[in-house]
Amino acid sequence: MKTFSATPRDIEQRWFIVDADGMVLGRLAAEVARIIRGKHKPIFTPHMDTGDNVIVINASKVKVTGRKAEQKEYFSHTGYMGHEKFTPFATMLAKHPERIIEKAVHGMLPKTALGRQVLRRKLRVYATAEHPHAAQQPTPLSFNKPALRSAGDKASEK
């Protein structure tokens, strides 16, 4: 039996839409990365772009667990020595909520030319529920939304 390797004519790309309202950032990013990479398909080939297009709406309503809302920071560098910038999660959520999901998904993709291509071409993130991709007729995609628990809830279960 020979190993199957996908060719461009084998690849069929679909469109999915995900509502990020109330979802946990890391779990959402992991599922989106899996879909845009194509790992959910039986024809997945690591060196080919077999993934589907994903539209993420309501990025401004994404949640984080634990104390990440106060502690998480995003790093950027201006190019000059000592000119690092650290942006808190709350500021990034208020100003650029799309970038939060884009950076989380980017962290879960391979750091290669194919990973950059997949991120740029297949992921579209919008802060609100409106998007310009109605003509593509995206299929709604839902993941199991785990309930956010506080530290007090964990102690009461024991």
**pLDDT for residue 15:** 97
Sequence-separated (6 or more) residues with CB below 8 Å from residue 72: 64, 88, 89
**pLDDT for residue 104:** 98
Q: Is 131:18 a contact under the CB 8 Å cutoff?
A: no
First to last CA, the chain: 52
Tell whether pTM > 0.75: yes
- 147/8: higher pLDDT: 8
Q: How far is CA 147 from CA 45, 62, 65, 101, 144, in A?
A: 34, 13, 10, 19, 9
Q: Which of 46, 31, 37, 59 is nearest to 116 (CA)?
A: 37
- DSSP for 50-94, please give it: ---EEEEE-GGG-B--TTHHHH-EEEEE-SSTT-EEEEEHHHHHH
Other CB atoms within 10 A of residue 88 CB: 14
Residue-wise pLDDT for 89-125, tens only, equals 999 999 999 999 999 999 999 999 999 999 999 999 9
Tokens of 22: 């109330």
CATH number for the domain formed by residue range(s) 13-63+98-143: 3.90.1180.10
**pLDDT for residue 142:** 86
CA distance 38 to 69: 31
Locus of tokens 């003509």: 135
